[in-house]
Amino acid sequence: MSGRNKLPFTQSQQINLFLRSYTRTDAAIFYERGKFHTAVNFRNLMVNGKTRY
């Protein structure tokens, strides 16, 4: 994953950007496997303590 998104996004915006990197089918599989939580963790890694919500 690229670290280019340094701006503070809301949770839903960051998840939308994250899922946009996949095809719709891949995103659906990703979600159905119960790994949508990973998208939230990815947002937390992106801010890495630099931005607090």
6: pLDDT confidence band, cut at 50, 70 and 90?
Answer: low
22 domain residue, yes or no: yes
- The mean pLDDT of 17-38, rounded to a whole number, is 68
52 domain residue, yes or no: no
Whole-structure pTM value:
0.22
3 domain residue, yes or no: no
Which range of residues forms the domain containing residue 35? 11-47
26 domain residue, yes or no: yes
5 domain residue, yes or no: no
Total domains present in the chain: 1
C-alpha 4/C-alpha 21 separation (Å) is: 13
2 domain residue, yes or no: no
23 domain residue, yes or no: yes
42 domain residue, yes or no: yes
Q: Which two tokens stand for residue 42?
A: 């990815």
The mean predicted confidence, pLDDT, of the chain is 67
